[in-house]
Amino acid sequence: MTSSDNLVSHSGSCHCGNVKFTVLAPSVLEVWNCNCSICKKKQNLHFIVPKSRFTLHTGSEEHLTTYTFNSGQAKHTFCKTCGVQSFYTPRSNPDGVGVMPHCIDSDTVTEVVNRNFDGQNWENFIETSDIRSKSKE
C-alpha cells in the first residue's frame, strides 16, 4: 500500500470526547500489532501516518498527558480524563503519528489489515521491516 492510496478523512476521539482528531489515511488500514512491553500490556494496535496528515482539534491538547520510558523516544499520549490513548508518537516513526483504529468514530474504515511488529527484538526487527516508510509522504 502506498501513502497516496485512497486517502479519506477519518475522525476520531478518546472515550470521553475531550480529545478529538482528524487523520487522512486510506480506508483500508494497515494496522501494526507490536509485542514490546508496553504495547503488549495495552494492546496497542495502531496505524501510522505522517504528522502532516494528523490534526488534533482545538482544545484537545489541554486534556492530554504523555508517558515515556526507557529511551524516551516513544511518546505515549493519552487523555487525562478517561485514560484512552487514541494516538501516540512511535519510537519507530518519530516523524509520524500512530493512530488507534478503534478510536475512529466515523464510518470511513472499510478494512483492517493486521501486521506484526516484533518489538521484543526491536533493534533487529526495525532493520528488516518497512514500518519506517509509513510516516513518509
Tell me: pLDDT of 83 over 70.
Answer: yes
Contact indicator for 108, 28 with CB cutoff of 8 Å = no
Say which DSSP state 57 is in: P
Q: Could you read off the pLDDT of 17-55 as tens digits, one per residue?
A: 999 999 999 999 999 998 888 888 888 899 999 999 999
The 10s digit of each residue's pLDDT in 101-136 is: 999 999 999 999 999 887 888 888 888 888 888 888
CA-based nearest residue to 32, from 135, 129, 117 = 117
Say how many C-beta atoms besides its own lie within 10 A of residue 106's C-beta: 12
Question: Could you tell me the three cell numbers for 52?
Answer: 502532516
Residue 89 near residue 98, CB atoms below 8 Å: yes
